[in-house]
Amino acid sequence: MVIDEVRTVSEPGIDPAAIDGFAATLRGTLIFPGDAEYEAARQVHNGMIDRRPALIARCEDVGDVIAGVNFARDNGLLLAVRGGGHNGPGLGTCDDGLVLDLSPMDGVRVDPAARTARVEGGCTLGEMDHATHAFGLATPLGVNSTTGLGGLTLGGGMGHLSRHYGLAIDNLLEVDMVLADGSFVTASEQQHPDLFWAIRGGGGNFGIVTSFLFRLHPVSTVYAGPMLWHMDLVEDILHWYGEFLPNAPDELNGTLMFISVPPADPFPEPLWNQTMCAIAWCYSGSPDQAEDIFLPIRTRFGTPALDWVGEMPYPVLQSMFDAVFPHGIQMYWKADFVNELTEESIKLRVQQALRKPVGSSLLGFHPIDGAAARVPDGATPWAYRDAKWVEVIVGATLDPTENDAIIAWARETWDVLHPFSAGGGYVNFMMEEGADRIQATYRGNYDRLARIKARYDPNNLFRVNQNITPRT
Ligand SMILES: Cc1cc2nc3c(=O)[nH]c(=O)nc-3n(C[C@H](O)[C@H](O)[C@H](O)COP(=O)(O)OP(=O)(O)OC[C@H]3O[C@@H](n4cnc5c(N)ncnc54)[C@H](O)[C@@H]3O)c2cc1C
C-alpha cells in the first residue's frame, strides 16, 4: 500500500480497538488531544511550529518503537519521529498523525577502554557529553546542549570539534534501527553497509535509530569561549578569518557570528544590544600551547571588546550558548555551503549583518574543513566535503509579533548571499525548501540515497523529514 492519503484517528475507518491495542502494547505513555499533558507534549523547540498530532507515544524502549511503526503503517497514519525536537521546520512533529517521541530513550553507556559510547536515539547532546566527560572523553556533536543527538547526527552533525575530529557521522561506528516493516537491524560497515552509508547524512529517511555507537576522543578541558569585536573592524576581521582559520591547526575551531549582545549580566552594559562580530573559539589541543595559539589572535586587532576565552570543561562550552535559543523561541533559518570569503561577499555580509534585527538572530560561519574535509567524497552522503564553512542565517526572536521581520531579514540575506555560495544547503539548517534544494544538498549522492530509500522504505512511511523520494 502506498500511503498517499493520511487519516486522523477521529476519521471513520480506524478501529478504536486498534488504538486500545496499541496503547496496551506500550511501556511508555500514549497521549491524546485533551489529555492534561497534551499541550506541553506537542510543543517542539521552535515556537513558530504549532502542530496538533492525533496521538503522541512516549517511547521507553525498542519495543515501543516497533509497536509505533507497525501501528502507523497498518492504519495509514502519518508518522513523525521526534528526537530532541530541535528541527527548524518542526520535522519532529506533524498534524493529525502519530508522533513517536524518543526523548525517554536517553541512556548512554560509555566503554572507556574501547573509547566508545552506546547512546539511545532520544538523547540530547548534553546528556551524551555529561556521560562521556566523566571519562575525559567526547565525540564531535553541535554547539547547544539541548539539541537532539538523533536529528543532528543523521543530518551530519558539526560543531566545536569538527575541524579536529570530523562530523558526528564520521565518528559513528554502528546503529540499531527499526525499519518501515517493523523489523530491527544493526547497521555498520559490516552489516547492511548500504543502510549504514545512507543514514550518515541522509536524515531519518531510512528508519528509526534506537541507538548509536560512537567513537570517542580524549577531550576533557578545552581552551575556549567567545571573543567580541566592534563592527568598525569587521571587514578586516573577515578577510583575516577567511585566510587564517583554513591554515590553522585542526585543534583550533572558530565559529564566526554577527550577533546582538544580550542585554543582561554578565555582559558589560555598554555592549548591550550592539551588533558585534563574535568568534566562539574552541582549542582542543595541548593546554600548554593554548596561550601561544591565542596570543596573535588577541593582539591582531587590538584588545577585543570582550574576551572570555580560557580553560573550561568541554560540557561548559557545549552549554554556554543555550540561553541564546531557549525552548519556545521563534526561529526561521536558511543556510548555504561556502568555499571562500571574497571581497564582494564580505561587504554584503557586513551590510546584512548591520540590517539584522536585534535579539537572537545571527549570521554565522561554522567551519567544516580540517578533519571533516579529509573524509573522501562519497564515503558518506554528506556531499560538501570540499566546502570550508556552513553559513547559517538564523532569524530568532522571543516575541512572535517580530516573526515577519526576522523571516524577511533571513530571506533577504539568503537572496543576497546565495550567489556567493557553493550551492546546496545543510539539511539540519533548512526549513522546508522543496525537493530541488534537497537534491542539490546531496549532489551526486542523491540517486544512491533514493535507491536505498526504495529498498528500505518503498512506501515512504518515514516522510516527515527532508524527504528523499524512493526510486527503484
Ligand atoms: C539551538 C540550535 C542549535 C543547533 N546547533 C547545531 C549545531 O551546532 N550543529 C548541527 O549540525 N546542527 C545544529 N542544529 C540543527 C539540528 O541539528 C537540527 O535541528 C536537528 O534536526 C535536530 O535534531 P533533533 O533530534 O533535536 O530534532 P527533531 O525535531 O526531533 O528531529 C529532526 C529530524 O530528525 C529525525 N530524527 C530525530 N531523531 C531520530 C532518530 N533517532 N531516528 C530517526 N530519525 C530521527 C526526525 O524524524 C526529524 O525528521 C541546531 C538546532 C538548534 C535549534
The confidence score (pLDDT) of residue 10 equals 54
Ranking 1-10, 110-119, 189-198, 286-295 by mean pLDDT, the lowest is 1-10
Minimum CA distance residue for ligand 1 atom 49:
465
Minimum CA distance residue for ligand 1 atom 17:
152
- Checking if the pLDDT of 76 tops 50, the result is yes
Read out DSSP for 292-313? HHHHHHHHHTBS-SEE--EEEE
CA of 147 to the centre of ligand 1 (A): 6
Ranking 9-13, 115-119, 210-214 by mean pLDDT, the lowest is 9-13
The confidence score (pLDDT) of residue 396 equals 97
| Interval 130-188: pLDDT, tens | 999 999 999 999 999 999 999 999 999 999 999 999 999 999 999 999 999 999 999 99
Q: What are phi and psi of 366, to 5 degrees?
A: -95, 120
The confidence score (pLDDT) of residue 65 equals 98
Rounded Cα distance between 108 and 115, Å, is 13
- Work out whether strand 98-101 and strand 79-82 pair parallel, antiparallel, or are unpaired: parallel
Q: Is 201 in the pocket of ligand 1 (CB under 6 A)?
A: no
Q: Is 88 in the pocket of ligand 1 (CB under 6 A)?
A: yes
CA of 203 to the centre of ligand 1 (A): 9
Tracing cell 577585543 back to the chain, one arrives at 304
Count CB neighbours of 147 within 10 A.
26
Q: Is 208 in the pocket of ligand 1 (CB under 6 A)?
A: yes
| Interval 364-423: pLDDT, tens | 999 999 999 999 999 999 999 999 999 999 999 999 999 999 999 999 999 999 999 998
What is the model's pTM? 0.96
The confidence score (pLDDT) of residue 1 equals 33
CA of 419 to the centre of ligand 1 (A): 27
Share of the chain above pLDDT 70, in %: 97
Q: Is 68 in the pocket of ligand 1 (CB under 6 A)?
A: no
Q: Is 424 in the pocket of ligand 1 (CB under 6 A)?
A: no
State which of 87, 99, 209, 319 you would mutate to test the pocket of ligand 1, scoring each by most atoms of that ligand within 8 A of its C-beta. 87
Q: Report whether 301 contacts 125 (CB < 8 A).
A: no
- Checking if the pLDDT of 438 tops 90, the result is yes
The confidence score (pLDDT) of residue 461 equals 98
| Interval 257-282: pLDDT, tens | 999 999 999 999 999 999 999 999 99
The confidence score (pLDDT) of residue 15 equals 81
CA distances, 43 to each of 10, 23, 402, 415 (Å): 21, 21, 20, 30
Q: Is 209 in the pocket of ligand 1 (CB under 6 A)?
A: yes
CA of 91 to the centre of ligand 1 (A): 9
| Interval 345-368: pLDDT, tens | 999 999 999 999 989 999 999 999
Q: What are phi and psi of 317, to 5 degrees?
A: -60, -45
The crossing angle, in degrees rounded to 10, of helices 234-247 and 343-354 is: 120
- Checking if the pLDDT of 239 tops 50, the result is yes
Rounded Cα distance between 333 and 242, Å, is 23
The confidence score (pLDDT) of residue 361 equals 97
Atom of ligand 1 nearest to the CA of 144: 3
Q: What angle do CA 324, 325, 328 make, to 5 degrees?
A: 140
CA of 344 to the centre of ligand 1 (A): 33
- Checking if the pLDDT of 457 tops 90, the result is yes
The confidence score (pLDDT) of residue 12 equals 47
CA of 152 to the centre of ligand 1 (A): 4
- Checking if the pLDDT of 443 tops 80, the result is yes
User: Averaged over 66-76, what is the pLDDT?
Assistant: 97
Q: Is 140 in the pocket of ligand 1 (CB under 6 A)?
A: no
State which of 100, 428, 457, 460 you would mutate to test the pocket of ligand 1, scoring each by most atoms of that ligand within 8 A of its C-beta. 428
C-alpha cell at 109: 553507556
| Interval 292-345: pLDDT, tens | 999 999 999 999 999 999 999 999 999 999 999 999 999 999 999 999 999 999
User: Comparing C-alpha atoms, which of 54, 93, 44, 91 is closest to residue 75?
Assistant: 54
Asked if the bond preceding 266 is cis, omega within 30° of 0, the reply is: yes
- Checking if the pLDDT of 9 tops 80, the result is no
Average pLDDT, the chain: 95
